[in-house]
Amino acid sequence: MTQGAEANNDHLVQSSDPEHPANLIPDLCRKFYNWGWVTGTGGGTSIRRGDHIFIAPSGVQKELIQPHNIFVLEFPTPKYPPSDRKYIRKPLSLKPSACTPLFLAAFEQGAGCCIHTHSQWAVLVTLLVEREKGPGGCFEISNIEQIKGIPRGKGKGMMGFFDTLRIPIIENTAHEEDLTESLEKAMVEYPDTYAVLVKRHGIYVWGDDVAKAKTQCESLDYLFQLAVEMHKLGIPWTK
């Protein structure tokens, strides 16, 4: 607890409730680290509770995050420029996540939690789609039970076994913040999606709440891993 300098609005991240966002984020990040989703400070996680956005810091070992490392933003808040964002808690020694405007884009759509991973399975499917179909496009898979773990769209229930799941893929940019525009464009083109793949980079997944964002992220990662193995075995992703 040598973080005395982070004492601004500390009460916002101090809670004995394990379900409090400041406790959930460290817990989730430890799990994501073990899955290989946030290797070497990559990736990130953010939770909205009422008009507060809780965000993991940038450039730190994700499996070691503590509640007092968490940033808190007022919501809504401007996405740009960063200096206009209304931080109500800012750990002085840390930098806010470069994913912040992307998380905010998801929260503006009504999400309660947004997860960003560098999962290798996600990266590999973007490489396979790029080679097969060129730039743009989306990842498609059908006739796999785990598809039922993904919602059909806001308030539309879950997908069915015979449905084709489509996850849009956007081009990567030099700076993570610059992904925001194309992420929002993908959200407009695919209004029912709860995830956007970033080519050669990873994925953004969101959900109505923490449990939904996490389990949807797991189901998608399962499907990406299965798709890579299916490709190795020469089995097509759609029927």
Q: Which amino acid is at 227?
A: A
Q: Fill in the per-residue mask, 79 to 118: x = in contact with a copy of itself (CB under 8 A), - = not in contact.
A: ---------------------------------------x
Does 211 contact a copy of itself by CB under 8 A? Answer: yes
* Smallest gap from residue 145 Cβ to a copy of itself (A): 4
Assess whether 229 carries a catalytic annotation: no
Task: Please name which of 90, 114, 84 lies closest in space to residue 102, comparing C-alpha atoms.
Answer: 114
CB of 151 to a copy of itself, least distance (A): 12
Annotated binding site for substrate: 99
Catalytic residue (one of 130, 132, 145, 171):
145
Tell which positions 124-163 bind a copy of itself, by CB under 8 A. Answer: 124, 127-128, 131, 143-146, 149, 160-162
Q: Which of residues 2-61 bind a copy of itself (CB under 8 A)?
A: 36, 39-42, 60-61
With CB under 8 A as the contact rule, the residue among 87, 140, 208, 230 that binds a copy of itself is 230
Which residue ranges are tagged as binding site for Zn(2+)?
116, 118, 201
Q: Which residues of this chain interact with a copy of itself, rule CB under 8 A?
A: 36, 39-42, 60-61, 118, 120, 123-124, 127-128, 131, 143-146, 149, 160-162, 172-174, 198, 200-202, 211, 214-219, 221-222, 225-226, 228-235
Catalytic residue numbers, as ranges: 145
